[in-house]
C-alpha cells in the first residue's frame, strides 16, 4: 500500500467517525422531529378540545339568553349566537378529526356522538326560541336532564384533553431523556472515533512512515559519508518508501561500480603509462644507439675524408712542386698515385657505409613514426574510456533526477497530508537535497573527465609534434643520403682521375704539363672534398642535436 493509500486510510478512518457522528445526528434529528410532531399533534388536539369545551359553554350561555328573552324578537340574537357557535364547533371538529390518535379513537367517537346530539338539541332550542317562544325553548332545554347530558359531554371532552396533556408531558420527558442519551451517544462515538483515528494515524505515521524514513535517512547519510558497504534494508511494501529503498540500493550499487571503475581506470592508466614509458624509453635507447652509431660513423668517415682531402691537397702541391723533377720523382709519383687510389677506395667504402647507416636510420625513424601512431591510438582509447565514464555519469545523473522527482512527489503528498505529513515533508526535503548534492558531485566528475580529455588532447598534440620531428629527421636523412651520393660520385671521379694518372706515369716525361694540370685538378677536388666533409660533419652535429632533443621530448613524455 503506497503512502497515498495510507494517508487516505487515515482520512477514511476519520471519515468513518464523521459518518457515524453524522448518522447519529441524523437519527437524533429525525427522532426529535417525530417527537416534536407528536407534541404538536397533541398540543393541537388539546387546544381544539379546550376551545370546543369553551364553545359548548358559550352555546349554553346563548341558550340561557333565549330562555330569559321576553319574546321571539328578543331571543333572535341569542338564537343566532347559538347557530354561529355550533358552526364554529363543526369547524373545530373538522380540524380535530385528522389529528385523532388511534388509542383515543373510541373515546373521540363517543364524544362526537354526544356532541352531535348536543348540536341537534341546541339547534332545536334556537328554533323554538325564535319560532315558538322563549318559554317553549326553556321548557325544552332548561332542565336537569339536559344539563346532565351537557355536563357528560364536557366531561368526555375534558377527559380527552387531560389524556392529551398527560401524553404531552410523557413525550416531553421521553424527548428529554432521548436528548440526553443521544448526546452521550454522539459524544462517546466522537471520542471513540477520534481516539481510534488518532491511534490508527499514529500507527501508520510512525510504523509505516516516520521510522522507515528515519532508517532511510540514516542509510542515505552513511552513503553520502562514503560508507558504500552499509546494508540496504529493502522493504517488501509497495509504497514509495519501498521504491526509495530500491532506488537507494541501485544508487549505492552504481556508486560502488563507479568507484570500482575509477580504481580500475586508474590502475589501467598507470599500467598503460608505465608501458608507454617503457616502450618510449626502449625506443629512445634503440634510436639513440642506432642513430648514435650512424652519427659516429659519419663523423669518423668525415674525419677520414678530411684527412684524405688534406693528404690529397698536399700530394697535389707536392706533385706541382716536383713536376720539374720528373725523372727523379717518377717512382715517388707512382707511389703517391697508388696511395691516392687506395684513399679513394676507402672514401668510396666509407661513403657506402654512410649510405647504409642512413638507410638504417630512416628505418628506425619510420619505426618511431609507427610507434607514435600506436601511441596516438592508445590515447584515443583513453578518450573512449573517458566517454564511457561520461555515459555512466549520465546514468548517475538520471538516478539523482529520479530521486529528486520522488522527493518532490513525497513533498506534495506530505503537503496534502497537512499536519500529519510535516515530518515526512522534512525527510523528503533532505532526500531532495541529497539528490541535488549527487547532481553536483556528478558535475564535478564531469569536470574531471573534461580535464582528462583536455590532457588527452594535449598528449595527441605532443605526439603530432613528435611525428613532425620524426618527419624532419626523415628529411635530414634524405639530405644525408643525397650528400653521400654526391660524395660517391666525387670519389668515382677521383678514382677515374687517379686511374688516368696511373696510366700516364709511363708518359710522365712527355706529359709533364698534363701532370701539373691534373695535380691542380686534384687539389681543387681535394678542396671540394674537404668542404663536403666539413658540411657532412656539421650535418652530423646537427643530427646529433636533433636526436638529443627528440630523445629528451620522448623521455619527458
The secondary structure of 230-281 as a DSSP string is PPP------SHHHHHHHHHHHHHHHHHHHHHHHHHHHHHHHHHHHHHHHHHH
Q: How far apart are CA 192 and CA 10, in angstroms?
A: 15
Phi/psi region, residue 150 (left: phi>0; alpha: psi -120 to 50; beta: rest), is alpha
Q: How far apart are CA 343 and CA 39, in angstroms?
A: 156
Q: Which long-range contacts (CB under 8 A, 24 or more apart) does 294-297 make?
A: 294/354, 294/357, 294/358, 294/360, 294/361, 294/543, 295/540, 295/543, 295/544, 295/547, 297/353, 297/354, 297/357
Q: How far apart are CA 260 and CA 173, in angstroms?
A: 86
pLDDT, position 531? 78
Sequence-distant (6+) residues with CB within 8 A of 216 are: 241, 244, 245, 248, 427, 431
pLDDT, position 155? 95
253 vs 214, 399, 522, CA distance in Å?
21, 11, 87
Q: How far apart are CA 169 and CA 163, in angstroms?
A: 10
pLDDT, position 65? 95
pLDDT, position 69? 94
pLDDT, position 392? 62
SS3 content of the chain, % helix, strand, coil (to 5): 95, 0, 5
Q: For residue 25, what is the enclosing H or E element?
A: helix 3-68
Please indicate, yes or no, whether the overall pTM of this predicted structure exceeds 0.75.
no
Q: What is the pLDDT along the chain (557 residues), one digit of tens a residue?
A: 666 666 677 778 777 878 888 887 787 777 767 767 778 888 899 999 999 999 999 999 999 999 999 999 999 999 999 999 999 999 999 999 999 989 889 999 999 999 999 999 999 999 999 999 999 999 999 999 999 999 999 999 999 999 999 999 998 898 888 888 888 888 888 888 898 888 888 888 777 777 777 777 887 788 888 777 777 765 556 667 777 777 877 777 787 788 788 888 888 788 887 777 776 677 667 766 765 675 676 566 556 655 655 665 675 576 567 556 645 655 664 566 466 457 556 756 765 775 676 577 567 657 756 765 775 676 577 567 657 756 766 766 776 677 678 767 767 876 777 776 676 577 667 767 766 776 776 677 578 657 756 765 775 676 577 567 657 756 755 765 665 567 556 556 745 764 665 576 556 456 556 646 755 665 675 576 567 657 766 766 776 787 677 667 766 76
Domain 3-217 - what CATH class?
mainly alpha
pLDDT, position 326? 46
Q: What nine digits make up the cell of 445?
A: 566528475
pLDDT, position 404? 75
Domain segments of the chain as ranges: 3-217, 240-556
22 vs 37, 198, 348, CA distance in Å?
22, 19, 125
CATH value of 240-556 in 3.10.20.590, 3.30.470.10, 3.40.50.720, 1.10.287.950: 1.10.287.950
273 vs 265, 267, 280, 460, 557, CA distance in Å?
12, 10, 10, 14, 10
Amino acid at each position: 500500500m503506497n503512502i497515498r493509500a495510507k494517508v487516505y486510510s487515515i482520512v477514511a478512518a476519520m471519515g468513518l467517525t464523521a459518518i457515524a457522528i453524522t448518522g447519529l445526528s441524523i437519527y437524533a434529528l429525525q427522532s426529535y422531529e417525530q417527537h416534536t410532531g407528536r407534541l404538536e399533534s397533541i398540543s393541537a388536539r388539546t387546544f381544539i378540545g379546550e376551545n370546543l369545551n369553551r364553545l359548548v359553554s358559550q352555546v349554553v350561555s346563548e341558550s340561557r339568553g333565549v330562555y330569559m328573552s321576553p319574546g321571539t324578537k328578543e331571543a333572535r340574537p341569542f338564537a343566532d349566537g347559538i347557530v354561529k357557535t355550533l358552526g364554529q364547533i363543526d369547524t373545530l371538529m373538522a380540524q380535530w378529526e385528522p389529528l385523532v390518535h388511534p388509542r383515543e379513537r373510541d373515546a373521540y367517537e363517543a364524544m362526537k356522538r354526544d356532541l352531535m346530539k348536543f348540536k341537534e338539541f341546541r339547534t332545536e332550542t334556537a328554533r323554538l326560541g325564535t319560532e315558538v317562544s322563549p318559554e317553549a325553548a326553556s321548557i325544552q332545554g332548561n332542565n336537569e336532564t339536559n344539563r346532565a347530558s351537557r355536563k357528560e359531554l364536557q366531561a368526555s371532552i375534558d377527559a380527552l384533553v387531560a389524556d392529551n396533556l398527560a401524553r404531552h408531558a410523557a413525550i416531553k420527558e421521553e424527548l428529554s431523556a432521548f436528548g440526553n442519551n443521544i448526546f452521550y451517544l454522539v459524544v462517546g462515538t466522537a471520542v471513540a472515533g477520534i481516539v481510534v483515528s488518532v491511534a490508527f494515524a499514529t500507527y501508520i505515521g510512525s510504523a509505516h512512515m516516520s521510522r522507515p524514513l528515519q532508517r532511510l535517512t540514516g542509510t542515505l547519510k552513511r552513503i553520502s559519508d562514503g560508507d558504500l558497504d552499509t546494508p540496504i534494508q529493502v522493504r517488501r511494501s509497495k509504497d514509495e518508501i519501498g521504491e526509495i529503498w530500491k532506488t537507494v540500493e541501485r544508487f549505492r550499487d552504481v556508486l560502488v561500480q563507479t568507484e570500482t571503475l575509477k580504481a580500475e581506470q586508474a590502475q589501467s592508466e598507470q599500467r598503460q603509462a608505465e608501458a608507454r614509458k617503457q616502450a618510449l624509453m626502449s625506443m629512445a635507447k634503440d634510436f639513440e644507439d642506432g642513430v648514435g652509431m650512424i652519427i659516429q660513423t659519419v663523423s669518423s668517415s668525415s674525419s677520414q675524408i678530411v684527412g684524405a682531402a688534406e693528404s690529397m691537397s698536399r700530394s697535389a702541391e707536392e706533385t706541382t712542386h716536383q713536376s720539374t723533377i720528373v725523372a727523379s720523382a717518377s717512382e715517388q709519383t707512382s707511389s703517391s698515385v697508388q696511395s691516392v687510389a687506395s684513399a679513394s677506395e676507402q672514401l668510396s667504402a666509407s661513403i657506402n657505409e654512410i649510405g647504409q647507416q642512413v638507410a638504417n636510420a630512416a628505418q628506425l625513424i619510420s619505426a618511431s613514426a609507427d610507434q607514435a601512431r600506436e601511441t596516438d591510438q592508445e590515447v584515443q582509447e583513453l578518450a573512449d574510456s573517458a566517454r564511457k565514464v561520461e555515459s555512466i555519469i549520465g546514468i548517475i545523473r538520471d538516478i539523482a533526477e529520479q530521486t529528486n522527482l520522488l522527493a518532490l512527489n513525497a513533498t506534495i503528498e506530505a503537503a496534502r497530508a497537512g499536519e500529519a505529513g510535516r515530518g515526512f515533508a522534512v525527510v523528503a526535503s533532505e532526500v531532495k537535497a541529497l539528490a541535488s548534492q549527487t547532481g553536483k558531485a556528478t558535475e564535478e566528475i564531469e569536470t574531471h573527465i573534461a580535464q582528462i580529455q583536455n590532457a588527452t588532447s594535449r598528449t595527441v598534440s605532443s605526439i603530432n609534434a613528435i611525428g613532425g620531428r620524426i618527419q624532419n629527421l626523415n628529411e635530414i636523412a634524405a639530405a644525408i643520403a643525397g650528400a653521400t651520393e654526391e660524395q660517391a660520385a666525387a670519389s668515382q671521379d677521383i678514382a677515374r682521375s687517379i686511374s688516368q694518372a696511373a696510366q700516364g706515369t709511363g708518359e710522365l716525361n712527355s706529359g709533364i704539363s698534363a701532370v701539373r694540370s691534373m695535380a691542380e685538378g686534384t687539389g681543387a677536388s681535394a678542396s671540394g672534398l674537404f668542404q663536403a666533409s666539413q658540411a657532412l660533419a656539421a650535418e652530423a652535429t646537427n643530427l646529433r642535436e636533433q636526436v638529443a632533443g627528440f630523445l629528451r621530448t620522448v623521455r619527458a613524455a
